């Protein structure tokens, strides 16, 4: 096999994740994990990710169809949606920080309440227990009952059965016992690392290390096993070295294959799309720095509140901030270099804005 060039890796990255649109369930299965984010600008990140990979996808389809899919809301390297089968790799999850005795007592009462009443809205739990408010992760305050529900979900004792207007509705769940033998834990750690490689390849060495570190969120109790799997992956995965950076990809893929030729479509990608999620890889492949600036003070933003990277052929050439009012898109564009000229670019951009308009329209 010919040694891949950076152009080969770029085309490989695009071709392997922007597969032909399929059904919603199959798209999530192939992606392995879809990161979630609540900001709508103009739609949630999970919807913006799925619209390129699911036939006739509309904003909100995942939420409306979720209860009928073999899919779960859960954690991997961050929070999102993943095929139900992947839960067996991480549950029962053992958090790094144990609850104190009082919180354990409250959590046991909440769990008993959910088991007795069936699917519950956090408001019902808060109304019944009146646990008060506590400081949340972001520095604000939230209902203590909601935090307990989130904690029970994280520990695998509850699952999200659906959402009502964006709010998680919880029900009790029991996972099958995990294989806790040394061999079983080793297999689970290796499977998690393989899942990450298949999702984010081709991967720079530093990014692979960072992703395995982030598995401390989804599988903190398997840290030793995922670190061992990382060492093994470095020895066994095919790789190449370009300009001082070592790149890895799955053994059954060929980055230099001619089948990775880019198409003519222009795409506006979610900030957490697997193609652009890794900012280190982004800069190596496309030669400029992309920033997610929704939480950056307005005066310091360079790209905008919710800049959507603009992919044309196999190049990310710029970004767009898109709002929608009265059924009409209001896009604002920026370019990493000079704006492309010519009818082909204008037609491709026009087509993408029409697809975006249809994606945002209610069914």
Pick the closest to residue 287 from 330, 317, 319 (CA basis): 317
Question: Would the pLDDT of 133 be above 60?
Answer: no
Host H or E run for residue 248: strand 245-248
Helix/strand/coil (H, E, C) string of 325-362? ECCEEEEEEEECCCCCCCHHHHHHHHHHHHHHHHHHCC
If you average pLDDT over residues 197-218, what whole number do you get?
Answer: 97
Per-residue pLDDT for 139 more than 70? no
Residue 298 has pLDDT above 50, yes or no: yes
Q: Which of the 8 DSSP states describes residue 66?
A: G
User: CB–CB of 330/30 below 8 Å?
Assistant: no
* E strand intervals along 271-341: 308-312, 315-325, 328-335
Instruction: Write out pLDDT tens, residues 16-59.
Output: 999 999 999 999 999 999 999 999 999 999 999 999 999 999 99
Average pLDDT (141-154) is 85
Looking at residue 178, its pLDDT comes to 87
- For residue 135, the model assigns a pLDDT of 58
Query: Which of the four pLDDT bands, split at 50, 70 and 90, describes residue 137?
Result: low
Mean pLDDT, rounded, for 102-121 = 95
Mean pLDDT of the chain: 94
Task: Collect all residues with Cβ–Cβ distance below 8 Å to 31 and sequence separation of at least 6.
Answer: 17, 49, 53, 199, 274
Q: Rounded mean pLDDT of 250-257?
A: 95
Q: Cα–Cα distance between 284 and 235 in angstroms, integer?
A: 23
Mean pLDDT along residues 115-139: 78
Domain positions in the chain are: 101-172, 262-360
Confidence of residue 255 (pLDDT cuts 50, 70, 90): very high
Say if residue 136's pLDDT is above 60: no
CB atoms within 10 A of CB 63: 16
Coil vs helix vs strand at 170: strand
Query: Would you identify the CATH topology of the domain 101-172?
Result: Arc Repressor Mutant, subunit A (1.10.10)
What are 49-97's pLDDT values in tens digits?
Answer: 999 999 999 999 999 999 999 999 999 999 999 999 999 999 989 999 9
Residue 166 has pLDDT above 90, yes or no: no
> CB of 310 within 8 A of CB of 319?
yes
pLDDT at site 142: 57
Query: When comparing pLDDT for 248 and 176, which is higher?
Result: 248
pLDDT band for 138, please (50, 70, 90 cuts).
Answer: very low
Closest CA to 219 of 92, 330, 37, 33: 92
pLDDT of residue 132: 56
């Amino acid at each position: 096999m010919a040694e891949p060039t950076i152009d080969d890796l770029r085309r490989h990255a695009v071709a392997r994740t922007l597969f032909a649109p399929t059904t919603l369930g199959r798209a999530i299965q192939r992606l392995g994990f879809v990161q979630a984010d609540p900001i709508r600008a103009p739609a949630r990140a999970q919807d913006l990710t799925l619209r390129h990979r699911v036939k006739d996808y509309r904003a909100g389809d995942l939420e409306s169809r979720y209860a009928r899919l073999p899919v779960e809301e859960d954690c991997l390297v961050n929070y999102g949606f993943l095929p139900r089968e992947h839960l067996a790799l991480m549950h029962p999850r053992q958090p790094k920080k144990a609850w104190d005795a009082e919180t354990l007592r409250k959590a046991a009462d909440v769990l008993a309440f959910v088991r007795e009443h069936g699917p519950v809205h956090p408001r019902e739990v808060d109304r019944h227990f009146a646990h008060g408010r506590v400081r949340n992760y972001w520095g604000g305050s939230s209902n203590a009952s909601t935090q307990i529900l989130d904690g029970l979900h994280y520990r695998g004792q509850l699952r999200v059965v659906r959402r009502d207007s964006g709010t998680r509705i919880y029900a009790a769940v029991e996972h099958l016992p995990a294989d806790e033998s040394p061999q079983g834990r080793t297999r689970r750690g290796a499977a998690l690392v393989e899942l990450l490689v298949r999702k984010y390849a081709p991967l720079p060495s530093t990014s692979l290390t960072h992703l395995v570190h982030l598995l401390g969120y989804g599988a903190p109790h398997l840290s030793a096993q995922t670190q061992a799997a990382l060492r093994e992956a470095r020895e066994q995965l095919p790789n190449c070295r370009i300009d001082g950076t070592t790149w890895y990809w799955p053994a059954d893929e060929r980055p230099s294959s001619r089948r990775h030729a880019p198409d003519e479509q222009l795409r506006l990608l979610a900030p957490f799309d697997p193609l652009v999620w890794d900012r280190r890889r982004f800069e190596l492949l496309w030669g400029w720095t992309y920033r997610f600036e929704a939480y950056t003070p307005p005066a310091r933003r360079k790209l905008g509140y919710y800049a959507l990277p603009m992919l044309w052929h196999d190049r990310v050439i710029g970004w767009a901030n898109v709002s929608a009012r009265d059924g009409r898109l209001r896009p604002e564009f920026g370019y990493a270099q000079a704006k492309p000229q010519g009818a082909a670019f204008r037609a491709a951009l026009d087509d993408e804005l029409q697809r975006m308009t249809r994606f945002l329209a209610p069914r």
